[in-house]
Amino acid sequence: ASVRDMQEKYANKGYLRAEINPVKTLDEKTSELNINFDITENNIVFIDNIDITGNESTKTYVFSRELTIKEGQIFNYAQVKRSQQKILNLGFINDAQIDITPSNDTSKVDVGYNIVEGRPGMFTAGIAMSSLDGLYGDVSINHLNLFGKAQRLSLRAMFGSRILDYTI
């Protein structure tokens, strides 16, 4: 876990290919185990291409506008993860897998997001009784990805003998 955490810290600074090797030595006198970390940073890595795949109904630019990373910048693993989280926060995405692949240039990597879209719509209906409004019904339709542009549309109607309310 310590090596993984250190590698992540180095990856946040662009050292994606940092090599961290724990060197363990036993102190015979005190019976304590000393651990030293042999770290080779290697070269700083830059982002070459950013690819978004797997989207079916959603336009690619919807995902691109959520990204906190840009092509040509120093690789930052925290920003790559933040971009993934922002894509998932759209509300209609089931999964967004990160794919980091080496580029032809050894100082660059390609970052990909493989999207799995979920169902963007909801339909709800219900009946209720109130002392103020009497018996009434409630129907609503919500769509979170209208026309594949991540635009939201919500329609709601409440109707009964004493109430008639529409919301768009």
| Distance, CA of 140 to CA of 92 (rounded, Å) | 18
d(CA 162, CA 34): 78
Say what the pLDDT of residue 136 is.
92
* Alpha-carbon span 21 to 37, nearest angstrom: 6
Query: What is the distance between the alpha carbons of residues 161 and 168, in angstroms, rounded to a whole number?
Result: 21
Classified as helix, coil or strand, 133 is coil
**Is residue 162 predicted with pLDDT exceeding 90?**
no
Average pLDDT over residues 100-121: 93
* Predicted confidence (pLDDT) per residue in 70-92, tens digit: 999 999 999 999 999 999 999 89
- Residue 74 in tokens: 């120093």
Q: Helix, strand or coil for residue 30?
A: coil
pTM comes to 0.79
Q: What is the pLDDT of residues 32-57, one digit of tens each?
A: 999 999 999 999 999 999 999 999 99
